[in-house]
């Protein structure tokens, strides 16, 4: 019995060391937005006020384009997802991209509202801010869901829709990414808030 207790204690100690090492190697607490802006928001980035939020946007390319391309990123991403697209399009098109609430440098919704309807309302307000009457709306993953829901809500404004691996429709997933599985495990999901293991991302 004493031997079993010693083995259990040693195993618990080893597990504790492994967890402590993992945390030490991957510790990544939140950084103030002011520190991140220097790296991630140089010109042509600007900030606009939408629904009580300071929203990170880029408006690039041909300003006389009557039907700009508006790009919406996916989960755990930012407007920088589209850097390559902007390089390919900016000589011919006006390209607007935005960090949506809860992502990039835009930060959280002041009301804690993250429904699909709130994102549609947000994108509509961004389009209104820029005076966009008609656009090509493109979205990746979660941004694709926001894009097609926005097109349904305001079909006269969206002339074309580009969906890249879009979310928003019911599917039975055969392979759930590791990060999504860990996010459902109590204690570990809280640990994810202050660690950023590259492999998990």
Q: What's the whole-model pTM score? A: 0.78
Low-confidence ranges of the chain (pLDDT < 50): none
Q: Give the per-residue pLDDT at 11.
A: 76
- Which CATH superfamily includes the segment(s) 32-170? Alpha/Beta hydrolase fold, catalytic domain (3.40.50.1820)
Q: Give the per-residue pLDDT at 199.
A: 63
Closest among 55, 168, 47, 57 to 117, alpha carbons compared: 168
- For 115-131, how does the pLDDT look when each residue is reduced to its tens digit (9 = 90+)? 999 999 999 999 999 99
Closest among 104, 117, 91 to 45, alpha carbons compared: 104
Q: Give the per-residue pLDDT at 21.
A: 76
Contacts of 191 (CB under 8 A, 6+ apart): 23
Kindly list the domain boundaries of the chain, sorted by start residue: 32-170
Q: Give the per-residue pLDDT at 122.
A: 98
Q: Give the per-residue pLDDT at 106.
A: 95
Asked whether 105 and 41 are in contact (CB, 8 A), the reply is yes
Q: Give the per-residue pLDDT at 196.
A: 65
> Which long-range contacts (C-beta less than 8 Å, at least 24 apart) are formed by 185-191?
191/23
Q: Give the per-residue pLDDT at 201.
A: 56
């Amino acid at each position: 019995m004493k031997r079993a207790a010693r083995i259990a204690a040693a195993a618990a100690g080893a597990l504790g060391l492994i967890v402590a090492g993992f945390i030490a190697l991957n510790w990544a607490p939140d950084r103030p937005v002011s520190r991140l802006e220097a790296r991630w928001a140089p010109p042509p980035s600007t900030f606009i006020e939408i629904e009580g939020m300071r929203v990170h946007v880029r408006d690039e390319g041909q300003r006389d384009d009557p039907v700009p391309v508006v790009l919406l990123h996916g989960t755990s991403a930012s407007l920088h997802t589209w850097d390559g697209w902007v390089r390919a399009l900016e000589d011919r098109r006006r390209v607007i991209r935005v960090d949506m609430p809860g992502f990039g440098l835009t930060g959280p919704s002041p009301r804690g509202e993250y429904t699909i309807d709130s994102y549609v309302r947000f994108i509509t307000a961004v389009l209104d801010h820029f005076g966009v009457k008609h656009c090509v709306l493109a979205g990746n993953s979660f941004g694709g869901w926001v894009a097609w829901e926005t097109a349904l809500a305001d079909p006269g404004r969206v002339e074309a829709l580009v969906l890249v691996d879009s979310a928003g429709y019911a599917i039975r997933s055969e392979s759930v990414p590791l990060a999504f599985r860990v996010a459902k495990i109590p204690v570990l999901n809280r640990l994810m808030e202050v660690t950023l293991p590259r492999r998990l991302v």
